[in-house]
């Protein structure tokens, strides 16, 4: 009876949930981003992801909100991507 009263009190006044129950699962904040697949990203998306990943230090299982392995794969894919070059039309050489 006392336990039930304490539980009701805590629910009403302190906002504590789950009296006598398992703790709530961790917040969604603890889930690391590891999608979409790197192979499905356009070059602009890959460049943006690599830039965002590069903002965070590579320590631990995460780089900011991203999974560390996902960031490493994105950075490697971006560094391996071909350089986008614009071909200029041939122009006659100017007299010297």
Q: CA–CA separation, 16 vs 31, rounded Å?
A: 24
DSSP state of 23: P
What are the residues facing 63 on neighbouring strands? 66
Cα distances from 14 to residues 7, 18, 27, 42, 65, in angstroms, run: 10, 12, 20, 49, 31
What is the C-alpha to C-alpha distance for residues 8 and 17, in angstroms, rounded to an integer? Answer: 10
* Spatial contact of 57 and 63, defined as CB atoms under 8 Å apart: yes
Per-residue pLDDT of the chain (96 residues; tens, 9 = 90+): 454 544 444 444 444 444 454 443 343 446 999 999 999 999 999 999 999 999 999 888 999 999 999 999 999 999 888 776 667 787 777 666
Q: To the nearest whole number, what is the mean pLDDT of the chain? A: 75
Q: Is 67 helix (H, G, I), strand (E, B) or coil?
A: strand
Q: At what angle do helices 68-80 and 43-54 cross, to 10 degrees?
A: 130
């Amino acid at each position: 009876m006392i336990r039930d009263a304490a539980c009701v009190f805590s629910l009403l006044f302190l906002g504590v949930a789950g009296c006598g129950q398992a703790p709530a699962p961790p917040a969604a904040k603890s889930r690391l981003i590891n999608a979409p697949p790197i192979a499905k990203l356009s070059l602009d998306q890959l460049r943006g992801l690599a830039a965002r990943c590069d903002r965070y230090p590579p320590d631990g299982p995460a780089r900011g909100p991203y999974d560390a392995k996902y960031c490493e794969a994105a950075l490697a894919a971006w560094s391996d991507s071909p350089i986008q070059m614009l071909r200029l039309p041939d122009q006659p050489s100017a007299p010297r």
